[in-house]
Amino acid sequence: MSQGSQAQPADPGCTVILAELRQILADVTRRPELLDARADAPLFGTGIGLDSLAGTLLLREITHRYGVDVAAEDINLDALVSLATLADFILARSPGRAMGERASARRTGHEHPQDRLRGHDRDQHPAGH
């Protein structure tokens, strides 16, 4: 999935999830041009330049949508190498949800206040100070 995945994703679930991840990324960074981001473009550093604020919002939204807590499983956050690696990581852990079964996704926090609050309640997500 790390090369050429934007043109020909092997898995239809991957196509869906990549489109969703681009949308989330564009939302959390407020950069609509990221809707066209290459699947293999590095998320950190030059290029997409994900910083810790946008990264935190991205991970919160992924937990909310797919029930996948990247930070709790991936010590080096290698899932965040690119959109393609992130899509693979999510698909491997939550294939059903990635295909659109959202209702049962664990709601442990994302950037909307009410849901962030759940994160505060459970005190298990970055919640500021």
Interface positions with another protein (CB under 8 A): 29-31, 44-45, 49-56, 59, 69, 71-77, 80, 108, 112-114, 116-117, 120-121, 123-129
Q: Which is nearer to another protein, 1 or 57 (CB)?
A: 57
Are 98 and 90 spatial neighbours (Cβ–Cβ below 8 Å)?
A: yes
Q: Which is nearer to another protein, 12 or 45 (CB)?
A: 45
Q: Which is nearer to another protein, 11 or 74 (CB)?
A: 74
C-alpha to C-alpha distances, 90 to 45, 47, 121, nearest whole angstrom: 22, 22, 25
Least Å from the CB of residue 40 to another protein: 18
Are 94 and 66 spatial neighbours (Cβ–Cβ below 8 Å)?
A: yes
Least Å from the CB of residue 31 to another protein: 7
- Using left for φ > 0, alpha for ψ between -120 and 50, and beta otherwise, residue 35 falls in alpha
Least Å from the CB of residue 3 to another protein: 22
DSSP 96-127: HHHTT--TTS-----SSHHHHHHHHHHT-S--
Least Å from the CB of residue 8 to another protein: 29
